[in-house]
Amino acid sequence: MKLTTTFIVSSLLVTASAVPVTQKSGGYKVTLSKRASFSTSESVDVDGDALRDHLRRTTAKYERGFAAYHNNTGKAHPLAGKGLAKRHMSSDPLTNEGNAMWYGAITVGTPPQSFTMDFDTGSSDLVLPSPACTESCQGHHAYQPTESSTALSLLKPFSSAFGDQSKVYGMQYQDTVGIGGMSATKQTVGAATQYSDGFSKARFAADGLLGMAFKSISELHADPVFHTLYNQNQTDSGTFAFKLAENASELTLGGVNEALYTGEFAWSNVTEEGYWQVAVEGMTINNKTMFHGHAAIIDSGTTLLIADSTTVAQFYATIPGSRPAPEVAGPGYYTFPCNAVPSVSMTFGGRAFEIPQKTFNLGPSFKGSQECVGSLVGSDDMSFWIVGDIFLRGVYTAFDIENKRVGFADLA
């Protein structure tokens, strides 16, 4: 059955009780909320540990996705060429992203059990704690398959292969997933009996992770939730869209919310179905064009902008007074004078989109410092760009699984 005309808002963080609000076409709405970022306000210094953690976790996350891609498709991911997926790293296999993720509510099972989820376009699996996960899942709601008449055990374990003491593992089930008033049946759910350190309640406020990329990077070898909804004709269109802002963040499933953007979308085709991988056509810094053409992955589950070290060094070289800040924030990070926040734009689908200066600046390197940390970070492991919410907060973003493309539009 298609549920095409009811617009639903689910409440934040606490429960998933869905409340019909108004009738409108163009999809179903899930309200999102955001936890703290790396600094709590412009006047407070950055949290160096959280920044180091963020880069480490993001690298591990991509390593995991590339390995799953290899396993699922039988070929190496074209972007996995450098250090990634070749090397074992002892880092957290699931994304924590420095307390800076976007949350929304879903239900799993019959009758519905409520959970809050981190909606992550940079991965593809649905993972929740199971009741057997006691210590490492403390504070999170556990998914209870025995309480669900629609739960089916697949009798298959899963395990995230990277990191030794920081593994996530458990058993796979199929169950009904309710989200924004729609339901996906026979959705594969990973019920973790062990959560990694990055999932501790203090670092990860949501109960679980809901991946929104393509099946080829699924470690459970399963359709991601949105693909299941689409395949089961629950949505009219194969598009979902995010507004990620401090306030009034929203995920629309099965369309876009026209109230949230103006003008047309600039679309970029997905170049490799796995991540939401497109071409970033260029970047400007203080009106100076930096480069033409790089592969970029659009990732709502990453906070920062991450690129290869060489490009990032060239970028900061154009800002007088900027310098590497390994001691403040970790390798790959740079500072620039706080009174000269660069104006940065990235070009996608033929159009340049500004990164708000306020967003680009992560804050002073220490309290009272005149040097601020930039949100563009270099990694020796990356030959590509990861475009996280530093960019996404300045635009309205549509992800289209039908036409395999990503669109950006100006926020209303």
Ligand X SMILES: *[C@@H]1O[C@H](CO)[C@@H](O)[C@H](O)[C@H]1NC(C)=O
How far is it, in rounded angstroms, from Cα 86 to Cα 62? 11
Q: Is 314 in the site for ligand X (CB under 6 A)?
A: no
Q: Which is nearer to ligand X, 115 or 158 (CB)?
A: 158
Q: Which is nearer to ligand X, 48 or 374 (CB)?
A: 374
Smallest distance from ligand X to CB 325, Å: 22
Q: Is 110 in the site for ligand X (CB under 6 A)?
A: no
| Centroid of chain to Cα 359 | 17
Q: Is 289 in the site for ligand X (CB under 6 A)?
A: no
Per the annotation, the verdict on 120 as an active-site residue is: yes
Among 139, 43, 14, 86, smallest CA distance to 362 is for 43
Q: Which is nearer to ligand X, 153 or 286 (CB)?
A: 286
Q: Is 286 in the site for ligand X (CB under 6 A)?
A: yes
Residues β-bridged to residue 239: 400
Q: Which is nearer to ligand X, 233 or 310 (CB)?
A: 233
For residues 95 and 61, the answer to whether their CB atoms sit within 8 Å is yes
Smallest distance from ligand X to CB 204, Å: 23
Per the annotation, the verdict on 380 as an active-site residue is: no
> For residue 254, is it left (φ>0), alpha (ψ between -120 and 50) or beta?
left
Q: What's the token pair of residue 115?
A: 């959970």
Residue 25's SS3 state is coil
Q: Which is nearer to ligand X, 42 or 246 (CB)?
A: 246
How far is it, in rounded angstroms, from Cα 362 to Cα 276? 25
Q: What's the token pair of residue 16?
A: 């998933």
Q: What's the token pair of residue 72?
A: 């699922």
Smallest distance from ligand X to CB 288, Å: 8
Smallest distance from ligand X to CB 403, Å: 6
How far is it, in rounded angstroms, from Cα 260 to Cα 315? 31
Interface with ligand X: number of residues (CB under 6 A): 12
Among 135, 89, 98, 114, smallest CA distance to 16 is for 114
Smallest distance from ligand X to CB 355, Å: 13
Q: What's the token pair of residue 31?
A: 């309200």
Q: Is 232 in the site for ligand X (CB under 6 A)?
A: yes
- Which residues are CB-contacts of 189 (< 8 A; sequence separation ≥ 6)? 108, 126, 127, 128, 143, 172, 173, 174, 175, 177
Q: Which is nearer to ligand X, 169 or 291 (CB)?
A: 169
Touching ligand X, residues 321-380 (CB under 6 A) = 343
Smallest distance from ligand X to CB 82, Å: 20
**Beta-carbon-side half-sphere exposure of residue 350 (alpha carbons within 13 Å):** 5
Query: Residue from 247, 339, 367, 368 that binds ligand X (CB under 6 A)?
Result: 247
As a residue count, the chain comes to 412
For residues 167 and 160, the answer to whether their CB atoms sit within 8 Å is yes
For residues 121 and 253, the answer to whether their CB atoms sit within 8 Å is no
Q: Is 287 in the site for ligand X (CB under 6 A)?
A: yes
Could you give the string, one character per residue 144-183, with x where binding to ligand X holds by CB under 6 A and - elsewhere?
A: -----------------x----------------------
Residues β-bridged to residue 119: 210
Q: Is 271 in the site for ligand X (CB under 6 A)?
A: no
Query: Residue from 233, 262, 310, 370 that binds ligand X (CB under 6 A)?
Result: 233
Smallest distance from ligand X to CB 75, Å: 13
Q: Which is nearer to ligand X, 22 or 287 (CB)?
A: 287
- Known catalytic residues are 120, 299
Which residues here bind ligand X, judged by CB under 6 A?
Answer: 71, 161, 221, 232-233, 246-247, 269, 286-287, 343, 403
